[in-house]
Amino acid sequence: MLIKVPPKSALREAQTTSESAYVSRRSVIKGLGAGIGGLLLSGNTGAVDLFGDGVEGGASEATPRKPLQFSPQRPAPDLVLTPVDKVTNHNNFYEFGTGKTDPAKYSQGFKTEPWTLRVEGEVEKPGTVDVWKLMSDIGLEERIYRMRCVEAWSMVIPWVGFELGKFLQRFQPTSRAKYVAFETVYDPEQMPGQRNRYVGGGVHYPYVEGLRMDEAMHPLTILSVGLYGKTLPPQNGAPIRLVVPWKYGFKGIKSIVKITLVEKMPPTSWNKLAPNEYGFYANVNPDVDHPRWSQASERFIGPGGLFSVKRQPTLPFNGYGEEVASLYKNMDLRKFY
Amino acid sequence: MAAIAKKSVAVLLQIGVHLGGLLPLLWLFYAINAGHLGGDPVVELIHYLGMGTIRLLLLTLVVSPLAKALHFGQLNRLRRPLGLWCFVWASLHFSTWLALDLGLDWSLIGEELVRRTYILLGFTCWLILFALAITSIPALLRKMGKNWKKLHGLLYVAVLLACWHFWWSVKSGWIEPAIYLGIAISLLCWRKESVMRWIKSLRSW
């Protein structure tokens, strides 16, 4: 299959505000030391501001995020970052409700500490890791990725995490391991969407996802424990989530408690709910429409207010074709969507 | 109740309808700025306006059977303002989608209208509301005579289309749209005779 790689200049618009704001913010936070969430709450004073960001603050910091030690991405890609408030106030996390603002509202106080992650199945050394200990032991790095939701909106998010592949190697996968199955925590007491089918959008819980082994081992695939330099807020999948930048956002399973290496293709939540709409692969593909959304273009949620909305063409594999197209070279991506 | 008292109640209700149509829009303006609609207010805005339209449509259908049941003919004065607010909300819903979601990309808009049935349903509903709103101008109303009533019976179709549009637009979970569709069908059943009369009147069109 022919993969068109767009010129590097394709996304170089207005590379001004957000990233520099982020970098300076980050250096200030580093300079001052721990936990100054207030820095992220500055700015909007409530004046009528339909043209500005307008969403500073909100509920995002009700659960304080902890600063992380990590190596910044160098060189940083030429991407305009989505402001942190938008990343943390526009989420799909049906366990906390189907509205985009529900997760930020209803996940505050969600207990993410302590947290253990079990790795089992086709591995020589199954084991359980303490995620918070892992965060300080494993070398964390920043990955600034495009994030594309199947609902045709996109963001650019500076994740902090580590490669899933390197992590899985610790458990010594056997030769029978062909797929990786992931599972979100099942905790109906804390997650209203798991208590009530109506709140949870009819999804069968716990949420499950899966990757093929080669996708899981790909260096672009990470387990993320933070964004914008600090630990994840609950609505973004604290304390640990999956990020696969060339796939639609729903593959990025949140608040993971179990990873199982398996021989057969594992079930995935959205595929179970509507197999004609959501396939196992879910690679970002402008040529294959979702029944409800054209995938040819996307609305980028960037800096700026309501009237600075930008539509942009969607890139094959979300712009990561150069790195990942070879994984699918003999596959009909219309069939394996 | 004395006729005068009934009339003043109707006037108060009419003011209430106008406030009910307007105040949530003012709240929206504030809410966007205060961040209540989250990091991507566009989608929230579209949903809020769409749900408001459906609720107003259902409310519009309540009026005349209620007026009949209560022997309170003055209530019928509420139909026009309610109907017009339906059109305002539907138009805001539609234009938010056109301008803020699709960024006025006309080729994409055309494609989406044709390829996504739920959008076509919503668009048809808006066209009906548009026709009903335009013909609410008193001069036109008089000029149209009997045909006015025939045209305005399309409200029954519009309310069903709106609920169906809602049903097909949700990504998961059919309970909420089912509740609205259930209410719409019950309201149409409640005024079965008017609906049947309207269907019959179409034969002579």
Give residue B6's pLDDT band: very low, low, confident or very high (50, 70, 90).
confident
Is residue A253 part of an annotated ligand binding site? yes
User: Is the pLDDT score of A300 beyond 70?
Assistant: yes
Give residue A3's pLDDT band: very low, low, confident or very high (50, 70, 90).
low
Please tell me the total count of domains within chain A.
Answer: 1
Burial of B62 (0-12, 13-18, 19+ CB in 10 A): middle
Nearby residues of A247 by Cβ (< 8 Å), 6 or more positions away: A281, A282, A283, A284, A318
Please tell me the total count of domains within chain B.
Answer: 1
- Output the average pLDDT for chain A: 87
**Could you tell me whether strands A116-121 and A256-262 are parallel, antiparallel, or unpaired per DSSP bridges?**
parallel
pLDDT (tens digit per residue) in B166-203: 999 998 888 999 999 999 999 999 999 999 999 999 98
Question: For residue A172, is it within any domain?
Answer: yes
Percent of chain B whose pLDDT exceeds 70: 99
Record the tokens describing residue B34, joined without a space: 């205060």
User: Is the pLDDT score of A114 beyond 90?
Assistant: yes
What distance in Å separates the CA atoms of residue B119 and residue B46, rounded to the nearest whole number? 13
CB contact under 8 A, A89 and B38: yes
User: Is the pLDDT score of A18 beyond 70?
Assistant: no
Host domain of residue A251: 8-328
Of A48, A89, A274, the CB nearest to B35: A89
Nearby residues of B76 by Cβ (< 8 Å), 6 or more positions away: B63, B64, B67
Burial A115-143 (b: 16+ CB within 10 A, else e): bebebbbbbeeeeebebbebbeebebbbb
pLDDT (tens digit per residue) in A22-78: 655 555 444 444 333 333 333 333 334 454 444 444 444 667 899 999 999 988 899
CB contact under 8 A, B105 and A153: no
Interface residue ranges in chain B relative to chain A, Cβ cutoff 8 Å: 29, 32-45, 100-103, 105, 108, 111-112, 115-116, 118, 169, 171-176
Among candidates B72, B61, B66, which has minimal Cα distance to B9? B72
| Residue of B46, B112, B171 to mutate when probing chain A, most A C-beta within 10 A | B171
pLDDT (tens digit per residue) in A82-113: 999 999 999 999 999 999 999 999 999 999 99
User: Is the pLDDT score of B56 beyond 80?
Assistant: yes
What distance in Å separates the CA atoms of residue B171 and residue B169, rounded to the nearest whole number? 6
Tally of CA atoms within 13 A in the half-sphere of B194 that contains its CB: 18
Record the tokens describing residue A202, joined without a space: 């009819």
**d(CA A77, nearest CA chain B) in Å:** 23
User: Is the pLDDT score of A16 beyond 90?
Assistant: no
Helix extents (H) in B77-174: 79-96, 106-115, 117-134, 138-144, 146-152, 154-169
Burial B151-177 (b: 16+ CB within 10 A, else e): bbbbbbebbbbbbbbbbbbbbebeeeb
pLDDT at B4: 81
User: Is the pLDDT score of B123 beyond 80?
Assistant: yes
On chain B, the residues whose CB falls within 8 A of the CB of A309 are 42, 100-101, 103
- Output the average pLDDT for chain B: 93
What distance in Å separates the CA atoms of residue A300 and residue A311, rounded to the nearest whole number? 6
Per-residue DSSP letter, A266: P
CATH code of residue A275? 3.90.420.10
Residue of B nearest to A294 (CA): B112
Query: Which whole number is the average pLDDT over A292-318?
Result: 92
Of A46, A88, A202, the CB nearest to B172: A202
User: Is the pLDDT score of A317 beyond 70?
Assistant: yes
CB A218 within 8 A of CB A300: no
Is residue A149 part of an annotated ligand binding site? yes
CB B134 within 8 A of CB B91: no
Record the tokens describing residue A86, joined without a space: 């938008």
Is residue A184 part of an annotated ligand binding site? yes
What distance in Å separates the CA atoms of residue A117 and residue A183, rounded to the nearest whole number? 10
Question: For residue A194, is it within any domain?
Answer: yes
CB B104 within 8 A of CB B41: no
What distance in Å separates the CA atoms of residue A90 and residue A82, rounded to the nearest whole number? 11
Is residue A74 part of an annotated ligand binding site? no
- Higher local confidence (pLDDT), A309 or A51: A309
Question: For residue A220, is it within any domain?
Answer: yes
- Higher local confidence (pLDDT), B92 or A291: B92
Percent of chain A whose pLDDT exceeds 70: 82
Is residue A91 part of an annotated ligand binding site? yes
CB contact under 8 A, B175 and A198: yes
pLDDT (tens digit per residue) in A166-217: 999 999 999 999 999 999 999 999 999 999 988 999 999 999 999 999 999 9
CB A103 within 8 A of CB A88: no
pLDDT (tens digit per residue) in B61-91: 999 999 999 999 999 999 999 999 999 999 9
Q: How many CB pairs under 8 A join A and B?
A: 107
Question: For residue A131, is it within any domain?
Answer: yes
CB contact under 8 A, A296 and B172: no
Of B34, B42, B173, the CB nearest to A306: B42
Host domain of residue B55: 2-204
